[in-house]
Structure 1
């Protein structure tokens, strides 16, 4: 199974390569979440405030 650090690294590289707008990165990443991670995101999204770095840091801590 892929580890979260590796998944975020791949996702970040893909976003950079495609010049994917930072404003949409958090939303796009959460579309791949299972139910457990969706619940986690719903409870922390106000703290993340759609910030990609904050999202990555919080997810790694989870």
Structure 2
């Protein structure tokens, strides 16, 4: 598990196949753990998480 507290907020970070994923700004550790689990599941199912893609790209996936 890679959930930590960053400056008073909770967040997660992990790597998968050479790419790093990070998100923070969760109020509780539980929220961060749940979000990390969901992100890992999406990645392993082939869903690409990319913050640079447009909403249309996201919608079309």
TM-score surpassing 0.5? no
* Structure number with higher strand proportion: 2
- Where relative contact order (Cα < 8 A, 6+ residues apart) is larger, the structure is 1
Q: Which has the larger radius of gyration?
A: 2
TM-score if structure 1 supplies the norm length? 0.30
* Structure number with higher helix proportion: 1
